[in-house]
Amino acid sequence: MIRSKRAVGAVVALSAALALTACSSSGGKDAADSSSAAAAPAAGAAAGPKKTIAMITHAAPGDTFWDRIRKGADAAAAKNNYEVQYSSDPDATKQAQLIQAAIDKKVDGIAVTDPNTPALGDVIKKAIAAGIPVSMFNAGGPDALGLGAIGYFGQGEKDAGIAVGAKAKADGATNIICVNQTQGQQQLVDRCDGVTEGAAGAKVKMIYVNGTDDSAVTTTIQATLTQDKTVDYVVTLGAPIALDAVKAVKAASSSAKIGTFDTNEQLVAAIKDKSVQFAVDQQPYMQGYLSIDSIWWYTTNGNTLGGGQNVATGPAFIDQTNIAAVEKFAANGTR
Amino acid sequence: MTTVTATPTDDRVATRSATATIMGRPEVGALIGAVAVAVLFLLVAPAFRSVGNIGTILYGSSTIGIMAVAVALLMIGGEFDLSAGVAVTTSGLAAAHLAWFFSLNVWVGIVFALVLSLGVGAFNGWLLHVTGLPSFLVTLGTFFVLQGVNLALTRVVAGGVSSNSLNDLDGFDSAKAVFASSFQLGSVEIKVPIIFWAALTVIGAIVLLRTHYGSWIFSAGGDSAAARAVGVPVTGTKIALFMGVGFCAWILGMHNLFNYNNVQSGAGVGNEFIYIISAVIGGCLLTGGYGSVVGATVGSLIFGMTQLGIFYAGWDPDWFKTFLGVMLIAATLVNLYVKRKADAR
């Protein structure tokens, strides 16, 4: 008994010691908390009871891109004494139901993405008719102001694609694969079509991958690179996909270069170490921030942003020339 | 409750008490769950209490319930249909592409979609019969085939990821009136799919409980070999059940097409599980031979209430799936408990 008690004591002491040394001196939640506290652009907070804004997007769960949008929206909400209630569904019929529910709830404002105007236009108009200010962002640019939105914040997907295609061509691309991570989304197809147009003269082929499964993305890109050795440029449509492409290019011992749409913290590091050539940035933080802030301006002072035009938040390129400046902000999770 | 016992010497023919009869119904668990969910959201979500919003909740539930009714019947008949989710999209796309590509009256497309949907159902049933494979495998195959066809043909026909608008074609307005209109009932907006849902529930329940065909479904699902031995046409019964799923997929597909003016080719994936979960919450056993159409309808209502209730309450919708999982397990346990209690009497 005594021996076993001693053994227990030794185990307890050992595990306590392990627990102490297990604390990391850097990184983790502590580091993230302290950096994001510094990150939110502060302004004089408005007073009074909180107003509720519904933010309704077509995002599929688990894409880092939308975290930037939500952070921007939260920052604007904190400044304006709003509460942002976020919901999303990639299925247009369900997104329409969410918008209808926001109308039912009589929210004080709606910020919405519109990837499919024939399906969502009616319910967006219904919200506006119910007297709710609606701002639009990210998708639906060509139709936004026509529907009666108070503003639109985003980039033209095809224009961005053309810019990317031209940049890849200038970088020496002759055979490009455009990696589409979600089947059935028009704005992603627009991007690849834009790449084809912008890189006129080079061969461009679109391939589909399952964007919610990193290992499937990596193996699919790798298989494509192994099958066609002449591919010399991989264009991905999202930052996590570009990081998978880096692994795939290495595994296939290919010399293909990588360019991508959108960015995140890890991607900034990848551009810095030159494993990714460039990212075209549509500044999602700004989209989220402005979509909420525009509602505040509209309801408190009757202002609109954009002067009757869409506000372009992109395309802006991040590459070797400006990576140092961007890196600083990316660490905060705001770029 | 007084228990009237007809022949005390033989407990096999003993008359059960009214409580036991009611508690023994498969949909009881779902009803308890529905009341619990309704009370929960009435307490926490102010918008949930507004009468006018009942229309939104019923509509959300109907887009699940239309399919859940057919899926429940199929499950009672002992089979699954994993292609049910994309079959809805296939039906909508078939009507849209045919009518648009050949500039036909949209009703031609609608009839074509009906034939196709019934055909897919019949094919599932026939393949199941010929191969003797589990329906899980057969319909998983159909699921992937349809998903690929949806994406590929939409790209070929419409050059994108959604069907083209049919607004200018003949018959569009009448089709929209049939599949996607709505009317006011007091302050509640009733959309047409709610009517379809209610009608399908009534028809499904009557067929299941009051017809010969209904007892064939139970026996085919309970023990198909025994059912065959006593002369039940098991193969035909099951093929008809799969075609029933196809028919409901057609109704919902037409609603999606005419209400939202186009159909996205990638839509519908994952919904098959929602239909199955609704049926299970409603008291259907995964093994077949037991279940209820009304229960599946209540299961869909729980789904609709939860989905919109979380939103009305302003909770983080990231938790929706977690809540759903808890609901599913709780409903199954309640069903099990109630069934044991009822059987023990």
Residue in the structure block whose two tokens are 């080719």: B265
CB A184 within 8 A of CB A220: no
CB A118 within 8 A of CB B165: yes
Cis preceding linkage at A90, omega within 30: no
Least confident of A134-148, B59-73, B313-327: B313-327
In angstroms, what separates the C-alpha of B85 from chain A's closest C-alpha?
A: 12
pLDDT top residue among B323 and A196: A196
Q: pLDDT by residue (tens digit) across B1-29?
A: 445 544 455 666 666 677 767 767 888 87
Is the residue at B18 inside a domain? no
Mean pLDDT of all residues in A300-322: 88
- Per-residue DSSP letter, B162: B
Dihedral angle over CA of A209, A161, A66, A114, nearest 10 = -100
pLDDT of res. A16: 52
Instruction: Give B279's pLDDT tier (boundaries 50, 70, 90).
Output: very high
CB A214 within 8 A of CB A244: yes
Q: Give the residue among A98, A126, A105, A111 at the shortest CA–CA distance from A55.
A: A111
- Class level of CATH domain A157-281: alpha beta
Q: Give the residue among A277, A267, A330, A310 at the shortest CA–CA distance from A151.
A: A310
In angstroms, what separates the C-alpha of A286 from chain B's closest C-alpha?
A: 22
Dihedral angle over CA of B62, B63, B66, B70, nearest 10 = -130
- In the predicted structure, residue A238 carries a pLDDT above the cut 70: yes
CA distance B294 to B172: 33
Helix (H) or strand (E) holding B273: helix B271-281
Contacts of A63 in chain B (CB under 8 A): none
- In the predicted structure, residue B326 carries a pLDDT above the cut 90: no
Binary contact (A119, B316; C-beta < 8 A): no
Check if the interface score ipTM surpasses 0.90: no
Dihedral angle over CA of A305, A309, A310, A313, nearest 10 = -70
Instruction: Give A274's pLDDT tier (boundaries 50, 70, 90).
Output: very high
**Residue A96: half-sphere exposure toward Cβ, Cα within 13 Å:** 21
CB B139 within 8 A of CB B82: yes
Q: Give the residue among B107, B109, B104 at the shortest CA–CA distance from B91.
A: B109
Q: What percent of chain B has pLDDT over 70?
A: 93
pLDDT of res. A41: 44
Greatest mean pLDDT range, A326-330, B139-143, B309-313: B139-143
Three-class DSSP category at A204: strand
Q: pLDDT by residue (tens digit) across B217-273?
A: 999 999 999 999 999 999 999 999 999 999 999 999 999 999 988 888 888 888 999
Is the residue at B236 inside a domain? yes
CA distance B182 to B248: 19
Tokens found for residue A15? 């595990």
Annotated domain spans of chain A: 44-155+283-314, 157-281
Which of the four CATH numbers 3.40.1350.10, 3.40.50.2300, 3.30.565.10, 3.40.50.620 does domain A44-155+283-314 have? 3.40.50.2300
Least confident of A177-191, B81-95, B270-284: A177-191
In angstroms, what separates the C-alpha of B309 from chain A's closest C-alpha?
A: 9
Q: Is A116 on the interface with B (CB under 8 A)?
A: yes
Indicate the length of chain B as a whole number. Answer: 345
- How many separate domains does chain B show? 1
pLDDT of res. B317: 76
Instruction: Give A317's pLDDT tier (boundaries 50, 70, 90).
Output: very high
CA distance B279 to B68: 6
- In the predicted structure, residue B299 carries a pLDDT above the cut 50: yes
CA distance B120 to B146: 9
Q: pLDDT by residue (tens digit) across B190-233?
A: 999 999 999 999 999 999 999 999 999 999 999 999 999 999 99
- In the predicted structure, residue A62 carries a pLDDT above the cut 80: no
pLDDT of res. A211: 79
Distances (CA, A) of B219 to A197, B27, B72, B125: 61, 19, 15, 17
- Per-residue DSSP letter, A115: S
* Residue of chain A minimizing CA distance to B311: A101
Instruction: Give A4's pLDDT tier (boundaries 50, 70, 90).
Output: low
Least confident of A211-220, B170-179, B193-202: A211-220
Contacts of B256 in chain A (CB under 8 A): 93
Binary contact (B264, A97; C-beta < 8 A): no
Tokens found for residue A219? 């193996």
pLDDT of res. B12: 61
Mean pLDDT of all residues in A103-127: 93
CB B260 within 8 A of CB A180: no
Is the residue at B294 inside a domain? yes
Least confident of A13-27, A283-297, B77-91, B116-130: A13-27
In angstroms, what separates the C-alpha of B214 from chain A's closest C-alpha?
A: 34
According to DSSP, the residues that pair with A136 across neighbouring strands are A112, A152
Tokens found for residue A77? 């909400």
Helices B84-101 and B54-76: crossing angle in degrees, nearest 10, is: 110
Binary contact (B312, A104; C-beta < 8 A): yes
Q: pLDDT by residue (tens digit) across B161-172?
A: 788 888 889 999
pLDDT of res. B314: 81
> Residue B297: exposed, middle, or buried by beta-carbon count in 10 A (0-12, 13-18, 19+)?
buried
Instruction: Give A1's pLDDT tier (boundaries 50, 70, 90).
Output: very low
Evaluate whether A44-155+283-314 and A157-281 have a shared fold: yes
Q: pLDDT by residue (tens digit) across A13-28?
A: 555 555 545 555 566 6
Q: What angle do CA A79, A81, A83 make, to 5 degrees?
A: 110
Q: Which of residues 165-184 of A touch B (CB under 8 A)?
A: 182-184
Binary contact (B308, A87; C-beta < 8 A): no
Is the residue at B15 inside a domain? no
Range of the domain at B314: 28-344
pTM of the model: 0.80
In angstroms, what separates the C-alpha of A113 from chain B's closest C-alpha?
A: 16
Instruction: Give B155's pLDDT tier (boundaries 50, 70, 90).
Output: confident
pLDDT of res. A318: 92
Binary contact (B317, A87; C-beta < 8 A): yes
pLDDT top residue among A308 and A184: A308
Count of beta carbons in the 10 Å neighbourhood of residue B226: 12
pLDDT of res. A13: 54
Q: What percent of chain B has pLDDT over 90?
A: 57
Binary contact (A104, B314; C-beta < 8 A): no
